[in-house]
Chains A and B, each alone.
Chain A
C-alpha cells in the first residue's frame, strides 16, 4: 500500500470532565443488606424489595456469560458502589433549585434542562450517576395523560403500572447482568402513553456517570397502550477515568395493539484512551415486546463510546402483524470492543422484522455483529430481512458477523446478507482528483455507508450522530 491508510488520531473525548459535587455514595460491595439499604433509601414498597431480593438470589447462582466475542478481566462485583446520588438538602420545587454545578454540567454537555432553553420541544429526564435529577415538560405531557418521570417517582405515584409491567419483558433471572440490574437498579425513566395518544414531542433521557467507583444500573420501562405512539431518545456520557465503570442497564418496552415505540440511542460513554486504559463496560439488556396486533417496535442505535459494548436490543413479535426493526451503527477505534446486534423472535403470524447493521472498526478494535432471527412454529408467513455490513480501516482491527437463523415454520421467509467494504486507495484518489481531500472523502464515504441507519434517527440526533462519527474517525485515514 503506497498510502498509509492507518494513521490513527484520537479526537480527545469532549465529555471527560468530572463534576465536583457532593454525593451520597454507598460503601462498596454487594449483599442483601446493600439491596435493603438501596431500597430503604428510596423508600420502596415491600413488593419491590422482594423483586430485588429474588433477582439477587438468582444472580448468585449465575455465572457471567463468556460466549461473546469480547475480552476483559473478571469484574469484582464487591469493588463497586451500588448507589451514588448528588446530595440535595431538600425536595426540589422547581428546576431553578437544582444545584447550579449540576446545571452547568448539563449545559456543558449540551443537555437542555431549562424548559425555556430547550430546543425543539424535547422532554428530558436526566440521570446523574444513579438517580434522576430532573424531568422537563412533565406537566405539559400530563395534560394528554402521558406519564414521563423518573422510575423512583413512578414507583410511588404509579405503583400499579410498575407492578403490572416491571420484569414482564426482561424477567429478573433473564441473564447475569439483567439479574444484577434487577437486584440493584437505582433509578431510570418511566414512560406511559395511554390509549390512543400520540406523544406530542420526543421524550429523552440523558445518562451521566460521574463517580469513579460507582456502577450505573438504571431501569427504563416504556409502555404504549392501544394505538399510542412515542419516540424516545437516549444519550450517555461519562468522565475519563483510568478505571473501568460498569453500566448494566435494563430497558423494557411494551407495545399493545396498534402501538408504536421508536427508541433511539446515541451512546457515547467514555471509551478509554488510545492504549485501551479506562472506559465504560456497557453491558445492557434491551428488549421490546410487541404484544398487540399491528404493534411496532423500532430500535435505532449509534454506538461510538464504551470500552466494551455488549448489547442486543431485541423484539419479541408476539402480536399478529407486529413489526420489529433494528438499525445500528457501531464504530470502534483504538482498543474498543463491541459485540452488538439484535434478536428478532417471531411468534405471531405475519410478523415482519428488518435488521440493518453497520460496523466500522479502526485502530486495534474489534466489532462484532451477533444476531438471532427465530421463526417459531406459530409465525406463519413471517418475514425477516437482515443486512450486516462492515467496514475496516487499517488491518489491526477485526470485523465479525455471527448471525443465527432458526426457522421452524415453512411459510416463513428469512434473508440475510453481509458484506465488507473498505475505504480504498482508488476511491480516495478518485475524490482527490476532483479536488476533495482525504478527510472529507472519508467522512462522505462513512456517512454514505451509515445512511440507512442515520435516516431512522430524529433530526437533531442524526446531526449529532454524524458529527460524532466524523470526530471519532477524524484522521484515521490519510
Chain B
C-alpha cells in the first residue's frame, strides 16, 4: 500500500489538523487512496475530543494529545519462539503484527476456495471488490475523530472474507504485538462473512514492552443472512500505552454476533462498539469485562441499534476498579420506529475495590417503537458483606474470601468465552490480578 501521508507524529497530526495544514494527497482512482483522501479532507471538520464532548465527558485524553508518537520506521525483528507462548492452541490460522507492521513470517494465513484470511494488503491485491464494497462503508468516520484518523493513516491490517455456507471451526487469531516505545499503529481489519457461514475471531493486543505507545485500531464487520460470528477481544497493552479502538458491526437477517471484550491493559483505553441490527431476527450479545488498577482509565462505549423488527440484543458489562483506577461505561440501546418486537436487555455491574477507584456509568435507552421489551440496569457496589462473612465462617481468611468473590464477579464474563485455552488463560490472569498482594 502507498503511504500517502508522510511520517508524522500523533501530536503533529493533531496540530496540523487543527491548523488545517494537513493536505490531501492528490486525486487517485485507487479506492483506498480516495478513501484516505476523503478522510484527510474530513479531519479538518473534526475536533480532537475533549471532556466537553458528551461522548468523552469522563475520559480525559489530553495525555494522548501531547504524545509525540510517529508510525514506526521498522518493526522489531521477532521470531516465532518469542511469541509461541502467546499462540492459541486451537488456532491454525494466525495473523501477527508487530508495532503495526504485518509479519508474514510469523503468520499462517488461509487462502482456499471461498476463504481469504490474510493481511489487508493481500486482500486488496486479490479481492478488490470485497474491499471497495465494505472497507470504509461500515466504520463511520464522519463523527468520530479516531476512526477518521485510522482511515486517513491506515497502512496495514487484516482482511477476512468468507463466502457463503462455510464453517471455519478453529479460531482465527489476530495478534497485535507492541515492542517499541513512542510509536503509533493504526491497524484496520475488514471482516466479511457470507450467508450461513461461521467463524470465531480472537483479536488480541499484547505488549512486550512497558513503554508508552499508541494503538488506534478499527474493525469493521459485515455479517450476511444467518451468518454467525464469535468475536473475542483481549486488550492487554502495556500499562503506559494508549489504546483506542472502534468496532463496527452490521448484522443481516437472522445473523448472530457474539462478542466478549476484555480490557486489562493500557494507561488510557477507549473502546467503541457500534452494532447495527440491520434486519429482522438479527441477534447480538456483547459482553465485556474491564479489570483495572493503579492509575488506569478504561472507557467502554457501546451502541446497539435496533433498526428492524424482531431483533434481539443482550449485554452484560462488568467493571472491576482497584487502586486509583477509573472505569467508564456508556451503553446506548436505540430502538427505531420500525423495530417492533425488539427484545433488548442490558446490564452493567461494577465493583469498586478501593476507596480511590471511581466509576462513571451511563446506560441509556432511546425507544421509538411501542411493542418492545427493553430493560437495562446498573449497579455499583462492593463485595457482598454477607457472602464475605459466609466464606469467613467456613474458615477462609478475609483476603481469600475477597479474592474468591472478586474472581467470581469477573469469571461470569470469562465463562462466555467459547475458546477453551483462551478462557483458561484469562481465568488464570484474572485470578492473579484479583489477588490481594
Contacts and interface: CB of A to CB of B under 8 A. Distances in A.
A401 B364 contact: yes
A410 B357 CA distance: 7
A405 B362 contact: yes
A175 interface: no
Nearest to A399: B367
A456 to B, nearest CB: 23
A478 interface: no
A410 B354 CA distance: 6
B355 interface: yes
B132 to A, nearest CB: 37
A78 interface: no
Majority DSSP secondary structure for residues of A touching B: strand
A413 B367 contact: no
Contact of A417 (B361, B377, B382): B377
Contacts of A405: 359-362, 378, 380
Nearest to B381: A413
B337 A390 contact: no
A395 B340 contact: yes
A407 B362 contact: no
Interface string B368-385: 111111111111111000
Nearest to B357: A410
Nearest to B379: A415
Interface in A2-23: 5
Contact of B380 (A392, A401, A414, A422): A414
Nearest to A415: B379
Nearest to A424: B371
Nearest to B355: A410
Nearest to A384: B380
Contacts of B54: 67
Interface string A416-444: 11111010100000000000000000000
Contacts of B353: 410
- The number of chain B residues touching the other chain, given as a range, is 35 or more
A422 B373 CA distance: 9
B416 to A, nearest CB: 23
Contacts of A424: 371
Nearest to A367: B367
Majority DSSP secondary structure for residues of B touching A: strand
- The number of chain A residues touching the other chain, given as a range, is 35 or more
A402 B362 contact: yes
A418 B369 contact: no
Contacts of B380: 375, 405, 407, 412-414
A63 to B, nearest CB: 13
A404 interface: yes
Contact of A420 (B374, B377, B379): B374
Contacts of B352: 407, 409-410, 412
B406 to A, nearest CB: 12
A266 B237 CA distance: 54
Contacts of B337: 395-396
B358 interface: yes
B362 A403 contact: yes
B377 A410 contact: no
Contacts of A395: 337, 340, 368-371
B290 to A, nearest CB: 14
Given A400-B364, A403-B364, A410-B353, A422 B379 contact: no
A418 B382 contact: no
24 contacts: A5-B370, A377-B355, A390-B367, A395-B340, A395-B370, A397-B370, A398-B368, A400-B366, A404-B361, A405-B359, A405-B362, A407-B380, A410-B353, A410-B357, A410-B382, A411-B355, A415-B378, A416-B363, A416-B376, A417-B375, A417-B376, A420-B365, A420-B367, A420-B372
Interface of A: 1, 5, 67, 375, 377, 390, 392-420, 422, 424
7 tightest A-B contacts by CB?
Answer: A410-B352, A392-B370, A414-B380, A408-B358, A419-B375, A401-B365, A416-B378
